[in-house]
Each structure stands twice: as C-alpha cells, then as structure tokens.
A and B are shown apart, each in its own frame.
Chain A
Amino acid sequence: MSKQEFTITVYTENQIGLLNRIAIIFSRRKINIESLNTSPSEVESVHRFTIVINETEDVVRKLCRQIEKQVEVLKAYYNTNEELVWQELALYKVPTDVIAEKVKVERLLRQYGAKAVVIRKDYTVFETAGHREEIDTLIKALEPYGLIEFVRSARVAIIKASKGFHEKLKEFDQAEPAEEVIENEFLDKQDEVFTM
C-alpha cells in the first residue's frame, strides 16, 4: 500500500491536554503532521480537529482507532482528498510600490483570486484561499517581486458524504452501551466509520 495524503477529522470534547494526547499518537510512530487545525464544529460544545498526514491507509486506520480510544474523543474519520472539500488560507505581504508599478503583479493577483486585506504605503497584504498547490504557485509567482512575508494556515475540510455530527452525537448521549445485543449498523462500514 502506498502513502498518500489523508485528512483525519476528529470530533472531541473541549479539554485541556487533548491536543497533546492526540499529537503524541503521531509522534510516537514518528509520523509528521503536515497540518493541524482545531476549531468548533457544527455542534455546540463539540470540537473538531482536522489533521493532514501522508501515510498508507493501513496506518491511518490504526491511528484513527488509537485516537478514538482516547477518553475525550467522540469520533475519528479519515478521508482521501477526493472525499473532501478543503481550503487553506494564505497571507502574502508584498511591497506596495511593486504592485502599483507592475501591471503583471496585479494581473497575477487577480488570476489567483487574491484579495487585498491591508493596503499601506510601504506594503500590501493579500490573502488567498485554496488548495496548497494553488497557494504555492502564487508564492513562486510573487517571489521575483519581493515577497516580504508569507504564511499559510492549516487545512480545513468538509467531508462530502457527511451528514453532520448532530445525529451521531445522540448515540453518545445514551446512558450506557445497550445491555441487549443489537444488530450493528457499522457492519461492513469499517473503512468509513470507526466505533468504540
């Protein structure tokens, strides 16, 4: 199985120290986290981690189970890029005089859908949102014109097939695992859903 980019989406309680607990699951196996974002989720009080790594599916599946095992983690999903809509945000600081003088730069920014966030006499800050490759191409394009500062955010991603976490959460609110044996909805859905 070859390595590819996977995005892991983790729904959690909001708890100090949980970031570390999740991060060490990767560092323990010497896996580099390409990008990590924490944010609120569609459900109030539930947090959402978005983690991007480059690994084989086998390893990613095991990682997700280890993550889900943590007491404060509700659920961990993993997806390939095809299964996601995602964006990263980037900020570029460039000298204002260059932009003012060089028509090419203006065209470039327009082409990439960059917006000016701040315009000052000495510098201008542009932002773009998009996939990493798009952002990276713009850096390359801007470099010859004196890119002063650059920063890119972690990936945020929406799972195309997800129906949101509201319904899922109800399962966790049940008092205890059912005493009686029930037919399990997760059967044969291993690749999509993990459960504890």
Chain B
Amino acid sequence: MSNSTILDAAETKKQVAEAPKTISGSQAVLEAFLAEGVDTIFGYPGGAIMPIYDALYDYTDRLEHILVRHEQGGIHAGQGYARASGRVGVVFATSGPGATNLVTGLADAMIDSTPLVCVTGQVFAHLLGTDAFQETDVINITTPVTKWNYQVTDATEIPSVLAKAFYIAKTGRPGPVLIDITKNAQLQMFEYSGYTPCNHIRSYKPKPTVRKEYIVEAAKLINEAKKPFVIFGQGVILGRAEKEFKAFIEKTGLPAAWTIMGMSAIPTDHPLGVGMLGMHGNYAPNVLTNECDVLIAVGMRFDDRVTGRLDKYAKQAQVIHFDIDPAEIDKNVKSAVPVWGDCKETLPLLTDLLEKRDHSEWLAKFRELEKKEVEEVINEELNPSTEILTMGEVLKVLNELTDGNAIIATDVGQHQMVACRYAKYNNTMSNVTSGGLGTMGFGLPAAIGAKYGAPDKTVVAIIGDGGFQMTIQELGTIMQFGAAVKILILNNQFLGMVRQWQQLFHDKRYSFVNITSPDYVQVAKGYGIEGKKIDQRADLKNAVKTMLDHDGAYLLEVMVGKENNVFPMVPQGCGVSEIRLK
C-alpha cells in the first residue's frame, strides 16, 4: 500500500467518523452510553422520559434495560452494579416522583463514593417553574447529594454533558452524577458529529499532585514505629490499589484492619488482616487503635462509627492519612503527615522507602485480643450452646459452602454487622453494603445490580425482616429478568438493631421495633421464586446448599434468635478502647 492510499484510507475513516448526521437528543444519550461502554441500565419509564425510552426501543440489542419496580430499587441496583464491577452504574427515571425516588440512592452513593450516572426526564423547558404535571426542581433537590448535576434544555449539549458526567462520576473520589434532560431536548433533532469522551475539566482536578516530601516523612515515621497500625477503607478498592496495598503491608508486616467499606480489599484471612474497625467491629483493632504509635489510614474518612468519641481516639499516635480527597484531610482526625493522592500511586512510592522490620510481637498482641473475642463472643455466636439459631452460624455455613468466593450484598442492621463480622471474602469488591448512609432496603436491589455487574459470581443478599419489606417489590424485577440472586433472610421478628439499643440504653422500652412479616416463602412463590423457611439447626446446612445450588433466584428464610445482640460494641459517646464484649 502506498503512502497516499494509507492517507486516503485514514481520511475516509475520519470522514465517516465525523460525518454529521441528524439524531435526536434521546439517541445522543444512548450513543453516549455505548461510547462509554455501558451495557446495563436500571430504570423506570414515565411521561417526561418517554422520548428516551422510545429511542431505547432501537438499542435493545446493545443495551440491556432492567425494568425495576421502584426508582429507589433502580438506583440501588445501579449502586450494586457499580460496587461489584468497578464501573459506572447507569439509571433512568422520569421527572417528578420518579426523580425524587432517586434521592435516597443518590445520598447513599454520595456518602459511599459510588460512581453513578442518573438520567432523569424533565418537563418541557417552557414549563419549567410553572408547577407543571410531574415537575419538580430536581437539580436543587439533588444538589447536596450529587457530586455534580446539570440540567440540559438543548440537545446539542447532550454529548458533551454526558461525557462530563461519566468523567466526573468515575474519576477522583467517585460519586453520583445526575443529568436532568427536558423533554424538548430529548425530542430535538440536531447535527451529531460523534462522541468525544471527556478527560479534562478546567476547574476539576480529580487527583491531587503527589507530594513526595510527605511520602518520605511518612516512611520515616513508619520505619521508626514500634507499633504501627494500618487502617484502610474503600479508597483501596475504588483506586484498584489492592495489589499495591498488599505489597505495602506485607513488606514490613504491618497489621491492617478494614472499615466496613474497605472490607474485601484484602482477603479476610490474610495473615496481616486483624479484622473490622468500628462500633461493631473486632475487639483487637478497636482496642489497639489506642495503643499504636503510628496510625496509617489509607483511603478512609474516620467516620464517627469508626472513631467513636473523637477526643479519645488514637490520641497517643502519630497519624498518617492517605486520601485522594483533600477535604478529608484533618476533617475529623488531625494528621501528622497527610498524603494526598491516588493510593495506587502513593503506596508504591511509600513501600519503596520502607525498611524491613519485625512487628511480630506487636501483631501477636492483636492475636491475643482476638483470642479473647473468640472466647467471649465469637465461639458462642458461631457454635451456640442453645437451640436457637444465631445469625453468625448461618454465616459460618455460608462461608463453608461458598468458600468466600461469593459477593455478599447486605441490608442494614444487625444482620449487616454480623455478615460483615463473619463473612469470608477472598476477592475484592465482594462486600456490597450501605456503609455511610445505612439505607434499609438497599440489600435486595443492590444484590440484583451486583449480579449484573458480576454475572459469573454467586451473589447472596443477606437481609433482615425489616429491610426486606422496604424494597420487597424488587422480587418482581427478579421474576421478570431472572437475576439469579440468593436471598437469605435472617428473621428475628424485630427491628433488631434498634431493639438492641432500646434494650441496652433505653431500659428495654421496646418502642415500635416489633415487626411482623408476611409468609416470605409464599410471597416469593407468588413471584415465581423458589423458597424455603427453616428454624432448625439440623436443616441449616442443607437449606443453604439448596439455595446456592438452585438454578436461579432462591429465597431462604432463617428464623434466628429474637433478642440476640451484636457484640462487641463501642457504645455511643465512648472511645474505641472502651469497646464492650457483652
């Protein structure tokens, strides 16, 4: 081929790519999705988003749309998808009530840094502000709970706005983005000259510049430390820095504890893993937080559920804080050395500077306290001496049968704490839970989304009898689209976590925590989902095995102790080392 032919070919290709064609705003939305590699949309149609759904009719061969049963289910599914796949979750909702139903999910995704792009329909631009049918001021309602939001009234903006939306959602500290598109813009035909992904916004710096001096300082502190302790959060997972993180702690044998959101970044049985932090976390990491001399926080934000009382938190320690978000530095805990940056970049720089040290004696201290926890709490939870089933033993059986390879999505409450305390994880992005917002009703739809995000994985939704009834309608989504989600209801016939607090701190005045349940197996049957209910230990293993082996979705309801409590516990207003074992 001569040079000129190559040039000609290139020229032709360029022309094809850039040849303007006339398309609608709605088509432009879907073209953007294809260009961004979107494969699944969770959504619910309505009046103001009908043009987009009309366009979608011609894209069903390339984009899978899952019709949820409620917009909240849709956005939680989008979150589950994002958390299990590491990609951006995409959600559709119509204007007004459709959009307002997204708010809980947006707040959840905001606080848990989950990348989402939500597209909402909006009334015609000329009707904005007139209290038109299904008009609501979505942009202002969602401003506090989105990383970015934008209203489009002109179709020509759609390609660039969506490019920005995806870029903002997934870069830096990820988060939810909402794009509100008026109906006229969806319908408007315009000259489309292709989609250009965004890689720069002038006023937005997703990654702070790495400050090498601080890494040197951090290394110096760690090298000199007698009792260094690493605590890590979801930043490790969001930054896909699991490998770098492992190399970092392994280089000199640093004990490492995870937050609920950081869970599964390293395997739960990693020899340096010392358990979960926080209110219902493990005993050793909580107690020793107040004994370490250097506390190295990686990609975590010192949530109050992790720190307990701040003025009693790690006061003896020098704190090194790795975070991509400068607003997190010194927000709750003052750091001696802040390391701003993407931990995928900063951790290897630090690891290089670390000298090999022997911290086995220090690590043994964790194991010693762990033994105490095993003896006083864990043994009884996993191998109860009474006939009544515990949540912990259900987890134990699940671990045996999945060998830690399942994705576990949880709802919020006691079962969530038990699941996070006892679940075994071998793989990253396996723990899908509502950490920051504590959204009851998150579990079922998030599990559905997670199954689409990681179709080859077993996805188990562990849900309490309270939360399950909040988004139970999503069984319909499973029925229609066949997501093979294993639903494990741990039924204690109470809103257990609130009941536990009422027992411990409100003189057992059980105020409206006694919740009744329908016959879940019958309900599931109504949705064409197989199910079983058990309350005997003898049936547990077989029942869990049947659930896991079943081809397709399955619901297993396990009746557990009504008034069991989750321990250990850091009572509110106490320091982490005041953690109670009973």
What is the interface of chain A, defined by CB distance below 8 A to chain B? 12-13, 16-17, 20-21, 24, 28, 61-62, 65-66, 68-69, 71-74, 172-173, 175-178, 181-184, 186-187, 194-196
User: Can you name 7 A-B pairs with beta carbons within 8 Å?
Assistant: A24-B143, A68-B326, A71-B168, A175-B200, A176-B199, A187-B213, A195-B208
A74 to B201, alpha carbons, bound, how many Å? 10
The contact size tier of chain B is 20 to 34
A68 to B168, alpha carbons, bound, how many Å? 15
CB proximity of A156 to chain B, nearest CB, Å: 22
Of all chain B residues, the one with the shortest Cβ separation from A185 is B209
Contact with B331, one of A13, A62, A71 (Cβ below 8 angstroms): A62
The answer on a CB contact under 8 Å between B140 and A17 is yes
Chain A residues lying within 8 Å of B210, measured Cβ to Cβ, are 181-182, 184
Contact with A21, one of B143, B168, B200, B329 (Cβ below 8 angstroms): B143
In the complex, which residues 102-148 of chain B have their Cβ closer than 8 Å to any Cβ of chain A?
139-140, 143-144, 147-148
In the complex, whether B6 has a CB less than 8 A from a CB of chain A is no
In the complex, whether B204 has a CB less than 8 A from a CB of chain A is yes
Chain B residues lying within 8 Å of A71, measured Cβ to Cβ, are 147-148, 168, 201, 203-204
Total A-B pairs, Cβ < 8 A: 84
In the complex, whether B205 has a CB less than 8 A from a CB of chain A is yes
CB proximity of A96 to chain B, nearest CB, Å: 42
CB proximity of A130 to chain B, nearest CB, Å: 33
Of all chain A residues, the one with the shortest Cβ separation from B207 is A177
A44 to B306, alpha carbons, bound, how many Å? 46
What is the interface of chain B, defined by CB distance below 8 A to chain A? 139-140, 143-144, 147-151, 168, 199-214, 325-327, 329-331, 345, 349
Chain B residues lying within 8 Å of A16, measured Cβ to Cβ, are 151
CB proximity of A39 to chain B, nearest CB, Å: 17
The answer on a CB contact under 8 Å between A187 and B211 is yes
Of all chain B residues, the one with the shortest Cβ separation from A169 is B202
A116 to B329, alpha carbons, bound, how many Å? 51
Nearest first, the 6 closest Cβ-Cβ pairs linking A and B are: A65-B327, A184-B211, A196-B205, A177-B207, A74-B203, A71-B148
A17 to B199, alpha carbons, bound, how many Å? 23
A22 to B206, alpha carbons, bound, how many Å? 19
Q: Assuming A62-B331, A68-B326, A196-B326, is B203 touching A13 (CB within 8 A)? A: yes
The answer on a CB contact under 8 Å between B325 and A184 is no
The answer on a CB contact under 8 Å between B203 and A173 is no
CB proximity of A8 to chain B, nearest CB, Å: 15
CB proximity of A183 to chain B, nearest CB, Å: 6
CB proximity of A77 to chain B, nearest CB, Å: 14
A61 to B206, alpha carbons, bound, how many Å? 20
Q: Assuming A17-B139, A68-B326, A195-B326, is B203 touching A177 (CB within 8 A)? A: no
Chain A residues lying within 8 Å of B205, measured Cβ to Cβ, are 172, 177, 195-196
Contact with B203, one of A66, A172, A181 (Cβ below 8 angstroms): A172
The answer on a CB contact under 8 Å between B326 and A194 is yes
CB proximity of B343 to chain A, nearest CB, Å: 14
A178 to B206, alpha carbons, bound, how many Å? 11
A12 to B204, alpha carbons, bound, how many Å? 10
Chain B residues lying within 8 Å of A181, measured Cβ to Cβ, are 210, 212, 345, 349
Of all chain A residues, the one with the shortest Cβ separation from B202 is A172
Chain B residues lying within 8 Å of A24, measured Cβ to Cβ, are 143-144
CB proximity of A194 to chain B, nearest CB, Å: 7
Contact with A28, one of B139, B144, B148 (Cβ below 8 angstroms): B144
A73 to B202, alpha carbons, bound, how many Å? 9
Of all chain B residues, the one with the shortest Cβ separation from A62 is B331
A28 to B326, alpha carbons, bound, how many Å? 19
Q: Which of A21, A68, A71 has the most CB of B within 10 A?
A: A71
The answer on a CB contact under 8 Å between B202 and A74 is yes
Chain B residues lying within 8 Å of A20, measured Cβ to Cβ, are 140, 143
Of all chain A residues, the one with the shortest Cβ separation from B149 is A17
Chain B residues lying within 8 Å of A69, measured Cβ to Cβ, are 325-327
Q: Assuming A24-B144, A72-B203, A74-B202, is B211 touching A177 (CB within 8 A)? A: no
Of all chain B residues, the one with the shortest Cβ separation from A17 is B139
The answer on a CB contact under 8 Å between B209 and A182 is yes
* Apart from A62-B327, A178-B209, A184-B209, 11 more pairs, CB < 8 Å: A13-B202, A17-B140, A17-B149, A65-B329, A71-B203, A172-B202, A181-B210, A183-B213, A184-B213, A195-B205, A195-B208
Chain B residues lying within 8 Å of A173, measured Cβ to Cβ, are 202
A187 to B326, alpha carbons, bound, how many Å? 13
Chain A residues lying within 8 Å of B148, measured Cβ to Cβ, are 71
CB proximity of A66 to chain B, nearest CB, Å: 5
CB proximity of B405 to chain A, nearest CB, Å: 36
CB proximity of B398 to chain A, nearest CB, Å: 39
Q: Which of B203, B211, B345 has the most CB of A within 10 A?
A: B203
Of all chain A residues, the one with the shortest Cβ separation from B214 is A187
Chain B residues lying within 8 Å of A184, measured Cβ to Cβ, are 209-213
Chain B residues lying within 8 Å of A12, measured Cβ to Cβ, are 203
A71 to B210, alpha carbons, bound, how many Å? 20
Chain A residues lying within 8 Å of B143, measured Cβ to Cβ, are 17, 20-21, 24
The answer on a CB contact under 8 Å between B202 and A177 is no
Chain B residues lying within 8 Å of A196, measured Cβ to Cβ, are 204-205, 208, 326
A196 to B208, alpha carbons, bound, how many Å? 5
CB proximity of B167 to chain A, nearest CB, Å: 10
A48 to B199, alpha carbons, bound, how many Å? 25
A17 to B315, alpha carbons, bound, how many Å? 41
A175 to B201, alpha carbons, bound, how many Å? 9
Chain A residues lying within 8 Å of B149, measured Cβ to Cβ, are 17
Chain A residues lying within 8 Å of B214, measured Cβ to Cβ, are 187
Chain B residues lying within 8 Å of A17, measured Cβ to Cβ, are 139-140, 143, 149-151
Of all chain A residues, the one with the shortest Cβ separation from B213 is A187
Q: Assuming A28-B144, A68-B326, is B200 touching A73 (CB within 8 A)? A: no
Chain B residues lying within 8 Å of A182, measured Cβ to Cβ, are 209-210, 212
Of all chain B residues, the one with the shortest Cβ separation from A183 is B212
Chain A residues lying within 8 Å of B201, measured Cβ to Cβ, are 71
A73 to B326, alpha carbons, bound, how many Å? 14
Chain A residues lying within 8 Å of B212, measured Cβ to Cβ, are 181-184
The answer on a CB contact under 8 Å between B331 and A177 is no
Q: Assuming A24-B144, A177-B205, is B327 touching A66 (CB within 8 A)? A: yes
A13 to B208, alpha carbons, bound, how many Å? 19
Chain B residues lying within 8 Å of A73, measured Cβ to Cβ, are 203
Chain A residues lying within 8 Å of B329, measured Cβ to Cβ, are 65
Of all chain A residues, the one with the shortest Cβ separation from B334 is A58
A17 to B201, alpha carbons, bound, how many Å? 17
Contact with A175, one of B139, B199, B213 (Cβ below 8 angstroms): B199
